[in-house]
Structure 1
Amino acid sequence: MKLTTITQITLDGVTQGNGGSTEEDLRGGFDRGGWARGAGDDTTRDHIAATFQRADAYLFGRRTYDILRDFWGTMAELKQHPIGVALNSKPKYVASTTLTRSDWANTEILGDDLFRAVADLKDSRDGELQVHGSSRLIQWLLEKDLVDEMELITVPVVLGQGARLFADSGRDIALNLVDARTDSKGVMIHSYRPVGRPAYATF
């Protein structure tokens, strides 16, 4: 399977609280959630829905999984939305060492050997395995060379606080741009493929 990460991100790299601040966010001092609500025009919203629909399976970190389950997996009206239909009907894999069971249909919790579990998923079938949100999981996947493509949906806002997609220190990665578009509200969608390490100039 092709592993694709899809991330809503601010200009200063923040991914936290795109839909709104949770109680956990507020306890941690983050109070600028909801920055992606209302961002983008209909073409971007349609693109996001189509992205969820084209997935063959999903991989989530624990926190993102809980948020999506509570939103798309429990509300009857949202279950009928194209994103809700896709999430409820397709296989979902959770990277967690604390979650032991889930009542959301088609969910499998991956074991302690996460690298082997994800590598086996990628090798076991064709199609696309999508990671939405889950910034800490994405950092780990990048470190382990498990990401085939990254899509960044950049909202033109600077937050000045919040958890960021890329760690302050970590491996370096060169990326090739494979697709780019900008909607009428300035939201930019860029798709990249990792291509090894960057080349550095010497003086």
Structure 2
Amino acid sequence: MQPLFLHTNVSLDGFICDTAGHIDWHFSDEEFQQYLDGLLESIDGMVFGRVAYEQLAAYWPTAGDEVSIVQRSRMRELPKYVLSRTLTAADWYNTHLLGEEPLTEIRRLTMQPGRGIAVFAGGSAATSLLEAELLAEVRLVLNPILIGGGTRLFAGSYPISTWRLTSNRPFASGATVLTYERRTR
């Protein structure tokens, strides 16, 4: 089995994007970029919600020297799975639309051998995966900023679950990656 984990930027006040839908407020530095290189090299696939997919598909195929060679290569080559019932086509290389039963398809993917699948999704997709109890781990990139409004990380209903902090990694930028593992019942 390969674990499914959420990896997302979050502000101190619990938002993953601002009121305009932008994510350009997150903190980064060279060490964090190296961390992202390692993360992308350690996974076998990525999951996106429709909105996140559309935003990333508009950027990554033409990304230039502002990102590392590892990031450009891995964002292109890794399988990309999109949780969407409305998208009918995807042009970004190695993209797979999960169709009418996306959670069933995600569950099937996690049953295959592998190193892990990262979820780079918006709040709605992350909440649906949490509700379905498919997330084994949550990696929050906590950014030292209050943005005052936007999209919450988890919105809606989901079952109560407990999580154990397994690591924290601070960066010079002030961002900290907090890794939580789902506790088994």
TM-score, structure 2 as length reference:
0.90
Q: Which amino acid aligns with 1:3?
A: L
Summarize the alignment of residues 129-168 of structure 1 with structure 2, pairs less than 5 Å apart.
Answer: 129-167=117-155
In structure 2, the residue matched to 1:63 is 51
- Mark the runs of 5 or more structure 1 residues left unpaired by the alignment: 18-28, 198-203
For residues 8 and 96 of structure 1, do their structure 2 counterparts lie closer, same or farther at Cα, with a shift above 3 Å needed?
same
1:181 Cα deviation after fit: 1.7
* Preserved CA contact (<8 Å) 1:8 1:133: no
Question: What is the alpha-carbon root mean square deviation over aligned residues?
Answer: 2.1
TM-score normalised over the length of structure 1: 0.82
Distance 1:113 1:120 in 2: 11
Matched, 1:117 2:105: yes
**Misfit runs of 4+, over 6 Å:** none
Which structure 2 residues correspond to residues 2-17 of structure 1 after superposition, within 5 A? 2-17=3-18
**1:1-203 alignment runs, 5 A limit:** 1-17=2-18, 30=20, 34-36=24-26, 39-75=27-63, 77=65, 81-167=69-155, 169-195=157-183
Distance in 2, Cα, partners of 1:74 & 1:43 = 23
What amino acid sits opposite 1:4 in the alignment?
Answer: F
**Unpaired runs of at least 5, structure 2:** none
CA distance in 1, matches of 2:153, 2:116: 21
The structure with the larger Rg is 1
CA distance in 1, matches of 2:145, 2:100: 37
**In structure 1, C-alpha distance between the alignment counterparts of 2:111 and 2:88, rounded to whole Å:** 25
Aligned residue pairs total 184
| Residues 6-51 of structure 1: CA deviation (Å, up to 9, x unaligned) | 010000110015xxxxxxxxxxx53875211xx2332222112221
- Is residue 110–residue 117 contact of structure 1 (8 Å, CA) maintained in 2? yes
Alignment partner of 1:160: what SS?
coil
